[in-house]
Amino acid sequence: MFGVFSLGFCDLFVIYHLVIIISNYTIKKYKWKDVVAKKQKSFEDSLRRLKEISEKLEGNEVGLDDSIKLYEEGVKLAKECYTTLSEAELKIKELKSELESDIE
């Protein structure tokens, strides 16, 4: 019955873990707090909610209709997190470019 949606839930789980890995790498390497301090709280809240959704879907705690709603919410959150990370990466590239220009 849930076989059709299992792949989607697995995708959400993979996306969640990729966002965690990328964000941890970004935080460690580029001092995330200094780069996007304004968005940090909402980013962390989104990650926290994404984790909750992932756990609920993996644990089969909800019915089909609620699973679809949670999956939709998870995809939206994953997109928001990816956008935030992309913006941070762009900002880091800009700062690096400015630094290299100043050094030359």
| Residues 46 and 79 sit within 8 Å (Cβ to Cβ) | no
Among candidate residues 28, 5, 7, 19, the one with its CA nearest the CA of residue 79 = 19
Q: Give dist(CA 97, CA 83) in Å, integer.
A: 21
Cα torsion for 39, 45, 47, 52, to the nearest 10°? -170
pTM of the model: 0.57
pLDDT 10s per residue in the chain (104 long)? 444 445 555 566 666 666 666 666 555 555 555 545 555 568 889 999 999 999 999 998 789 999 999 999 999 999 989 998 999 899 999 988 888 888 87
CA dihedral (75, 66, 8, 17) positive or negative: positive
Among candidate residues 57, 52, 47, 48, the one with its CA nearest the CA of residue 78 = 47
Query: SS3 of 26, please?
Result: helix
Q: Give dist(CA 4, CA 19) in Å, integer.
A: 24
